[in-house]
Amino acid sequence: MTGVISGSGQWAYVAAAYGLTVLLTGAVLWSSWRAMAKAERRSDALRRDRP
Protein backbone atom coordinates (compact mmCIF):
# COMPACT_ATOMS: atom_id res chain seq x y z
CA MET A 1 0.00 0.00 0.00
CA THR A 2 1.31 3.46 -0.87
CA GLY A 3 2.53 5.44 2.12
CA VAL A 4 2.22 2.60 4.60
CA ILE A 5 5.29 2.43 6.86
CA SER A 6 6.70 -0.87 8.03
CA GLY A 7 9.70 -1.97 10.11
CA SER A 8 11.54 0.26 12.58
CA GLY A 9 10.00 3.45 11.11
CA GLN A 10 6.79 2.55 12.97
CA TRP A 11 8.43 3.41 16.31
CA ALA A 12 8.75 7.07 15.24
CA TYR A 13 4.94 7.27 15.02
CA VAL A 14 4.55 5.53 18.39
CA ALA A 15 7.07 7.95 19.97
CA ALA A 16 5.27 10.96 18.44
CA ALA A 17 1.86 9.83 19.80
CA TYR A 18 3.17 9.09 23.31
CA GLY A 19 5.36 12.22 23.37
CA LEU A 20 2.44 14.47 22.42
CA THR A 21 0.21 12.83 25.05
CA VAL A 22 2.79 13.25 27.83
CA LEU A 23 3.56 16.85 26.81
CA LEU A 24 -0.05 18.10 26.58
CA THR A 25 -1.39 16.16 29.58
CA GLY A 26 1.61 17.27 31.65
CA ALA A 27 1.11 20.90 30.61
CA VAL A 28 -2.60 20.91 31.60
CA LEU A 29 -1.86 19.08 34.89
CA TRP A 30 0.94 21.50 35.76
CA SER A 31 -0.98 24.67 34.85
CA SER A 32 -4.11 23.46 36.72
CA TRP A 33 -2.06 22.64 39.84
CA ARG A 34 -0.21 25.98 39.78
CA ALA A 35 -3.40 28.00 39.26
CA MET A 36 -5.16 26.12 42.09
CA ALA A 37 -2.23 26.49 44.52
CA LYS A 38 -1.90 30.22 43.74
CA ALA A 39 -5.65 30.89 44.13
CA GLU A 40 -5.89 28.91 47.41
CA ARG A 41 -2.80 30.66 48.85
CA ARG A 42 -4.39 34.03 48.04
CA SER A 43 -7.73 32.98 49.54
CA ASP A 44 -6.06 31.65 52.73
CA ALA A 45 -3.96 34.82 53.08
CA LEU A 46 -7.05 37.04 52.83
CA ARG A 47 -8.88 34.89 55.42
CA ARG A 48 -5.94 35.13 57.84
CA ASP A 49 -5.84 38.94 57.42
CA ARG A 50 -9.57 39.20 58.28
CA PRO A 51 -9.98 41.92 60.96
Partner 1 sequence: MHAYANPTRFLAIARPLTPWLLGVGLLLVLAGVWAGLTQVPGDYKQGETARILYVHVPAAWLGMGGWTSLALAGLIQLVWRHPLSGIAARAIAVPGMLFTALCLATGSIWGKPTWGTWWEWDGRMTSMLVLLFLYAGFIALTNGDEGQRQGGSLSRGAAIYALVGAINIPIINRSVVWWNSLHQGPSITLRGSSIDNALLWPLGLTLFGFSLLFGAIVLMRMRRIIADNRVAARLRRLADDEGTIA
Contacting residues toward partner 1, per CB under 8 A: 1-7, 9-11, 13-14, 16-18, 20-21, 24-25, 28-29, 32-33, 35-36, 39-40, 42-43, 46-47, 50
Least distance in angstroms from the C-beta of 36 to partner 1: 4
47 burial type by CB count under 10 A (0-12 exposed, 13-18 middle, 19+ buried): exposed
Q: Of the candidates 33, 2, 19, 31, which has an alpha carbon nearest to the alpha carbon of residue 41?
A: 33
Least distance in angstroms from the C-beta of 2 to partner 1: 6
Contact 42, 34 (CB under 8 A): no
Least distance in angstroms from the C-beta of 49 to partner 1: 9
